[in-house]
Amino acid sequence: MPSYRKRAVVLTTAAACLLSPLAAAPAVAAADATAVKTLVVGIDGASFDFLDDADMPNLDALRGRGMVSSSNLYGTPLAGTISGPGWSTIATGVWPDKHDVVDNNFTAPRYDLYPDYLTRIEAAQPERSTAVVATWSPIATTVFGSAVDSRIQGGNDVGTTAKAVEAIAGGADDVFVHLDEVDGAGHSTGTNGAAYAQALAKADGEIGEILAAVDARPADEEWTIVVTADHGHTPTGGHGGSSPAERKVFVIAAGPGIEPGVRHDVKITDVAPPSSPPSASPRIRPGRSTARPYRTSRPMPSTRCAPSCRPARTRPVPERMSSAGRMRRRRGGASTTPSCPPAA
């Protein structure tokens, strides 16, 4: 049986490689017939401590076959526990002291230095099909950049789920999905309210629909699936402060190269680590700022993870991918009209 250190190295590598197709886990890279795909589902305001008791069979199943790690966010004065900094951290892989998103105003983000991971995938492998589908509109319009093939505002979680299912069914390679209504319930009643548990159950049903779309894909696709959150909520409702209930977040991940089990060292910055020297990546410990800024004018390294990693094989896009009204295959930009973002 491998030692804890050995297992940690394996999992650290998997975490550091989690989402980039450049960083396919060795087990995937070794399978010639495999297409590497990634899915991240973010549940806004989902409190880790309330997942167990909520009616969430789909998330429970994912947790059962995947890795689960809870951790704490920053607090003030670095940044409040709110959505702008939270989702920017998850998307870029760096903390607010680097991406400079400290509130929901997005006054001077440094996405030029620290782009979202879909933008980096597009820079490295433009043939991949990338999509972000979000209920909170700034995620689709601001956090994820214009290089992403499809930036879709779902309007509400039902709409977001439908668009996400459509994107996956249409052959998207890398998909980020944001569900917002658990946060709304948190603001209404707090984590102690019945509406909060009901919203978690509803989100789980939507996750189930999205995972069913993944299951319906061809068997030669290997999906890495991550579920995470941007902040918690207080028992009576609200977030933004630095209490443990507001700071506690989680990463749940399942897929090739990810050992199932509970960990305590994987943070939300490990969902999409920023670019870093290939020789250093396998030794990166989750949560440490060892990465160098990535500038879009620089050529991407051929790999940024373990030497055994190699770029994912790409496949032709199904015709249904480019049909009118569906997600755009190539650099078509946003597919929906802007709207005022709801509070998050």
Name the minimum Å distance from CB 82 to Zn ion. Answer: 6
DSSP string of 244-281? HHHHEEEEEEESTT---EEESS--GGGSSPPP--TTTG
Q: Which two tokens stand for residue 125?
A: 């492998």
> Residue 166 has which token pair?
């459509």
Please say whether the beta carbons of 18 and 271 come within 8 A.
yes
Helix (H) / strand (E) containing 83: helix 83-92
Please report where in the chains the tokens 């999205």 appear, as a residue: 210
Q: Cβ 244 to Zn ion, closest distance in Å?
A: 17
CA 45 – CA 192 distance, rounded (Å): 13
Give whichever of 17 and 73 is closer to Zn ion, judged by the CB atom. 73
Q: Any idea which residue has 């390294």 for tokens?
A: 301
CA diameter of the chain:
54
- Smallest separation (angstroms) from Zn ion to the CB of 237: 13
In the complex, residue closest to Zn ion by CB? 83
Alpha-carbon distance of 70 to 197, in angstroms, equals: 19
Q: Which is nearer to Zn ion, 80 or 145 (CB)?
A: 80
State the residues that interact with Zn ion by CB under 5 A.
44-45, 83, 183, 230, 344
Which residues does 245 contact at the CB level (< 8 Å), separation at least 6?
Answer: 47, 49, 191, 232, 233, 234, 235
Q: How far is the CB of 89 from Zn ion (least distance, A)?
A: 11
Nearer to Zn ion, 222 or 230 (CB): 230
Of 183 and 246, which CB lies nearer to Zn ion in the complex structure? 183
- Measured from the CB atom, the residue of 183 and 206 that comes closer to Zn ion is 183
> Do the Cβ atoms of 271 and 89 come closer than 8 Å?
no
Nearer to Zn ion, 122 or 183 (CB): 183
Q: Which residues contact 163 (CB under 8 A, 6 or more apart)?
A: 133, 152, 154, 327
Provide, rounded to whole angstroms, the least separation between the CB of residue 151 and Zn ion.
18
Tell me the closest approach of the beta carbon of residue 146 to Zn ion, in angstroms. Answer: 23
User: 100 vs 230, which CB is nearer to Zn ion?
Assistant: 230
The CB-of-164 to Zn ion minimum distance in angstroms stands at 18
